Structures are given as C-alpha cells and as structure tokens.
Amino acid sequence: MMNLRQLPLALALTAAFTLPAQAQSLVELYDAARSFDASYQSAKSLYDANVYKAEQAKAGLLPNVGLAMGVNRTNITSDVATFERTYGNQGATLSASQPLYRPANWATAEQGKKSVDLAQAQLRIADQDLILRVSQAYFDVLAAEDNLNFVKAQKSAVSEQLASAKRTFEVGTSTITDTREAQARFDLTVAQEIAVENDLRVKKIALDQLTGKNMATPRPLLVPLVIAPITPDDVNLWVTQSEELNPAVRQAKLGLEVAKLETQKAQAGHKPTLDLVGSYNVTQNNGSTSSALDYRANAASVGLSFNLPLFAGFATQNRIKETLALEDKARSDLDAASRSVAQATRTAFFGVDSLLSQVKALEAAEASSQSALDATKLGYQVGVRINIDVLNAQTALFDTKAKLAKARYDLLLARLKLRQASGSLAADDLATINAVLAK
C-alpha cells in the first residue's frame, strides 16, 4: 500500500514520465491563439482599417489635381439651301487646388492621427484579453487534470480501504458497517471520477477551440511552486500606473481629444476658407459654323479662392452646441473609465495578496491533513479508530490538495489580471509562467 505522504512525488513523477512529447507551453499556445482566434483577428483587421482611414483624413490638407478631357463633333445640314458643314473640337483641362486656410480640414487631419492611437489602444485591449483567455483555458485544463489525478488516487486509496474492511470482516475483527461505509465511499468516488473526466474533456475542447490545436496538452506546473511577492507592494503605485498605461483609460482620453477637435471643426463653420487654384486648358477646334479653318487655343489661369460663410440657418451654432455636449460626455466617460480601472486595479492587487496567503495556508493545511491521516491510520491499526475515520481523513487530504492546486493557478492568473488592470500586461509576462512549467 502506497504511503499517501509520497503521493505528490508519485503524481509528479507519473506526470513527468507520461507527459507527451507534443505538450505545449503557455507561450506556444498563446502564439497559436494569436493567429487563430477570430476575436483577435477581428480587432487586428479593425486596427488596419483605422490606420488607412487616418491616412484618408490627410487628404483635406493636400493638393487636389484633376484632368478632364472631351471630344465633340457637329454636323449641320439645311433644306432651305444647299448647305452642309461638319466640325468639332477636342479639349483637355488640367486643374489643381491647394488648401491654404481650412480650419475644419486641419481638425479632421488631427482626428485621423488620434484615431490611429485609438486603434492601437483597442488592439492592445484585445491582445491583453487574449492573453487572459488563453491563460484561463490553460489553467482550467491543468486544474481539471489535477482533480482527475486526485480523484483517481482517492479511488485507489478507498479501494484499498474497502479490501481491508472486507478482510477484517471475514476474520471477525470488524463489523459489516465498516465494509458498507467503505463501499459507499468507493461508489461515490467512482461517480466523482466520471464527472471530473467529463469536466476535463470540456476544458480541453475549450482550449482547442481557442488555440486551433487538436488535443492541445498544457505542460503542468513544477511542484513545489515558489511565487515571488507583489512588486511593488503598494496598491497606490499600481493605481497610478493604471492611470497612465491602462489602454481603456488611454482610449477614453483619446475620445475626449477627438471630441475637442470635433468642436473645433464645428466652430470652423464660421471661419473663411482660402484655396490656391490653377488650371491649364487646351482646345483644338476643327472649323466652326462660319469657317473651315482649324485653330488651337491654350488658356492658363492661377488665383485664390476665398469663401466666407455669412448665414447657414443657425446650423453652425447648433452644431457647436451639439459638439460641446458630446465633449462633456467624453469627459464624463474618461472619469468613469479612470474610476473603474482604479477600482479594478485595487481589487486585483488585494486579490493577489489574498491568494498568496491562501496558498501558504493551504500548504500548511496539506501538511496537517497528511499528519492527521497518518495518525488516523495508526489509530485504526491499533483499534481506537474505525474505517470511516480513515476514509474521512483521506477525503480531507485530497480535497486540500485539489484546493491548493486550484489556488496556485488562481494566483498566477490573478497576477496577470493585476498587470492587465495596471495596463502593463504583455506577452512577455507569459515567459515568467513558462519558467515554472515542467520541461
């Protein structure tokens, strides 16, 4: 009979020898999801579209050149007198204009630049969301695998207790109650094993769907796991960092800047515009109604085009009022985003701090549960404990092990969420988790 104190080492060795050669690290599965996940690909395409849209906004500040060409042919006949004449002309006009003073166009171009920054913030949000989704799916599979291993180990231990109860009942040293209690616990463990196997199957399907892999196999954590404390260990520093780096706050700030530029565009409705315009026209005439001579005319012009709005039915005034109200809305959205991110950062910080304490407490509980099981088994052997006491101690130990494994995964994920809330989460942070995975 295996000593349960040796169970963690046995499980670790089993995982090391049975780990398939194609097992993937967290970074490998993230890279696969980055090129497969539809949500991230959609965000990336939207970013590319916004970059091209920003380039379109510059058109209002650049020259506008056009070429127009035409060909005409005329035939004249008369039934009053014998008269018939055919003539025509061909013409080409090259025209160009260069805005000199157009405040609305300048504001539009500035909005285009802001839209690129806004698209970058949106893409970063999508990338951070992908990191968390992959990490969550990765740890969900590992947690389900741990649960299955613990349930199988418990099933093996309960099976041995059931066999022992049957033997002692046959020789008359125990009652049928011990045997029935062990049988009931064994049947319950079998039911738990079926449920856990199905949960693992579902978690693997979710990971496969996210990464595009067929039967993706995460590498387990190294045990014992040593996790460094939070650095810096000051929630206010994390909140300050979030106000500067969090892409959601950055997005709200850019939204306010775009709204201010929209107000400038509306105010430009009262301002004049000035353009430099020029054209060059060439016309080739092949006769006319009064002459059959061919001739060519060239005309070039250059000048300034000035326009001053005088009255537009109060449309401009009301447009300004509309943009000012939208500017106030953008300012309120920025305040809401800052407060929400600050709260999320504090929640994530204290969550990591709490999980660090939980892991330490569960590690102590694991050692205590192991000692309690050893003492209960010894008491059962000398007759001061009954079989159900051993089964309860075994259940308590495996339950503690499962909670400890889950707390470790939650802690690693919580650290990523803290970095996301502070705005500093990047793909490089996954390398830290890769360092504590089995090779």
- Tell me what pLDDT residue 223 has: 80
What confidence tier does 406 reach under pLDDT thresholds 50, 70, 90?
very high
Q: Are 230 and 38 a contacting pair, CB within 8 Å? A: no
Q: Are 249 and 72 a contacting pair, CB within 8 Å? A: no
- Give every strand in the sheet of 294-307, ordered side by side: 64-78, 83-101, 273-286, 294-307
- Tell me what pLDDT residue 81 has: 60
The label of the residue with tokens 């157009």 reads 102
φ, ψ for residue 100, nearest 5 deg:
-105, -40
- Segment of 61-75, 211-225, 336-350 carrying the highest mean pLDDT: 336-350
Inform me whether the pLDDT recorded for 85 exceeds 90.
no
Q: Which two three-digit tokens encode residue 370?
A: 């192991």
The rounded percent of the chain whose pLDDT value lies above 70 is: 92
- Tell me what pLDDT residue 277 has: 96
Average pLDDT over every residue of 12-21: 44
Annotated domain spans of the chain: 4-35+102-271+313-434
The label of the residue with tokens 């006319």 reads 288
Of 231-240, 291-300, 323-332, 411-420, least confident by mean pLDDT is 291-300
Average pLDDT, the chain: 88
H/E element, 219: none
Distance between first and last Cα of the chain: 30
Q: Give the model confidence (pLDDT) of 355-398 as tens digits.
A: 999 999 999 999 999 999 999 989 978 877 877 788 888 889 98
Of the options 2.30.30.170, 1.10.1060.10, 2.30.30.140, 1.20.1600.10, the CATH number for the domain spanning 4-35+102-271+313-434: 1.20.1600.10
Q: Give the model confidence (pLDDT) of 118-128 as tens digits.
A: 999 999 999 99
The number of beta carbons lying within 10 Å of the beta carbon of residue 50 is 19
The rounded percent of the chain whose pLDDT value lies above 90 is: 65
Q: The dihedral of CA 24, 28, 31, 35: what is its sign?
A: negative
Amino acid letter, residue 160: E
What confidence tier does 224 reach under pLDDT thresholds 50, 70, 90?
confident
What confidence tier does 349 reach under pLDDT thresholds 50, 70, 90?
very high
How, if at all, do strands 83-101 and 273-286 pair?
antiparallel
Q: Are 233 and 297 a contacting pair, CB within 8 Å? A: no
Q: Are 349 and 418 a contacting pair, CB within 8 Å? A: yes
d(CA 347, CA 203): 27
d(CA 213, CA 216): 5
Q: Which two three-digit tokens encode residue 309?
A: 């709005």
